[in-house]
Amino acid sequence: MAKVFDYAEVAKHNTAESCWVILYGAVYDVTDFTSEHPGGAKVILQLAGTDATEEYDPIHPPGTLEENLKPEQKLGTIDPDTLPSTEKSPVETGEMKDEGPVDLDSLLNLDDVEDVATKQISGKAWAYYYSAGDDLISKNFNNTVYKQILLRPRIFVDCTKCDTSTSFLGNQVNLPFYVSPAAMARLANPDGEWGIAQACAQYGAMQVISQNASMTPEQIVADAKPGQVFGWQLYVQTERAKSEAMLSRMKKLPNVKFICLTLDAPVPGKREHDERQKNVGANLPVRAAVSDDPSRSNTSEDAKTGPPKNLAGVGQSLFWGTAADLTWKSTLPWLAQHTDLPIVLKGVQTHEDAYLASLHAPHVKAIILSNHGGRALDTAPPAVHTLLEIRKYCPEVFDRIEVWVDGGIKRGTDVVKALCLGAKGVGIGRGALFGLGAGGKEGVARVLEILKAETETCMRLLGVERIDQLGMQHINTRVVERDIYDGPSRLEGQTFKAKL
């Protein structure tokens, strides 16, 4: 029978030498674990000797404790009557602010949703969602580049009907946009990634589950409708066995239709909004934790200046353990050994890589043109640029594989423009998270409802009934086209020439 502790006794173990924490009413000795914690020892030590449940819960999926701690590290349970009643301040805990109930119908667009969510969620969550690389140039350009494209509405076309349905990798969906893999959803609302799945079910939308989700994949798809489509995002771990185990788990989830291998962030970008939150932000999921290979973080000659002192921000912590040594030659074959699901490569940012990916069809079935929401390398090109680059140099890519895009989508007109340029699917990341922040699963549904209505209005005013009718004749891209790369393009011995 488990021993019962008084809070006063737990409170004594508040040092690196003896570090106990209370989680969900149980008492753990994590002294040996602190050095392995992907978020660094510091964040655990800040909570040493206290009840850490509030900080731990929203960013660790169930099973995390069991996977990372040995049974004997669970010492017993806490006597709840001994717990102090003093409340922590929101600043300390990073908890959600309560701004009262939100009238979701009064939110007319995704900016409205973001504004409300910004008031509702904790500063830590906001910083993690909002942040992007360096000066946010790519993040902002992701959106404004859509505004540089003009639409070409046609008249005297019967637009009584409008059908937004399409398919992704042969799977039928009702919307041409989907929810991108977005981590840490429970930071925004307890509904978490499950809530996103619920909203997607309501609208027939696809969802890609983040490897860094705050719920397990099993929880997320638990209440899926028949035919509801999911993908699962893979960050290959330095310890490949961890990734292989996850791929095995996917085999048991029939709604998961593909593996989305993320390639646009082999090392974390520099997200300063997130880093400035580091005191609270480093409470991060244990699951990504792996070996600490110093050769990765710093291999230049003056390596004596040492490894990074602190992992800064939620974003950087999530990368801990992610493999940086993926290659065309080694990774795809390894992946084929461990999953039969189609592969989607996320993070393509040049026509060269789009072309290379297309050579791996049909194993690779789709690519996602993405600069990671501007969160990886600042001044990386927006997906619109890469779409136009592919059209210019190697349009055959569109025939070989599906091309999806994400980043910067805020309006139905943005969705339609991406489709006109050749995208088959359009991913929404922050929009879904801010929807969750604004109103849980209903907030996500509101985001999908707004975008669906805007998409339909746009299609109707263009005189288009079905997604597959959209094309370059519906948009004027001249302002963007003159900025598209026209430098050298050499690949496997052959030189690409611009075909436009």
Q: Looking at beta carbons only, is 241 or 500 nearer to its own copies?
A: 500
Q: Which is nearer to its own copies, 13 or 270 (CB)?
A: 270
Active site residues: 235, 264, 372
Minimal distance, residue 497 CB to its own copies, in Å: 15
Kindly state the tokens that stand for 15. Answer: 């040092």
CB of 14 to its own copies, least distance (A): 24
Q: Which is nearer to its own copies, 31 or 476 (CB)?
A: 476
Q: Which is nearer to its own copies, 85 or 300 (CB)?
A: 300
- Residue 94 neighbours by CB under 8 Å, 6+ apart: 55, 122, 123, 124, 125, 277, 280, 281, 283
Q: Using the minimum distance from each CB to its own copies, give the nearer residue, 82 or 202.
A: 202
* Residue with Cβ nearer its own copies (66 or 111): 111
Between 186 and 338, name the residue whose CB sits nearer to its own copies: 338
Nearest to 59 by CA among 221, 239, 210: 210
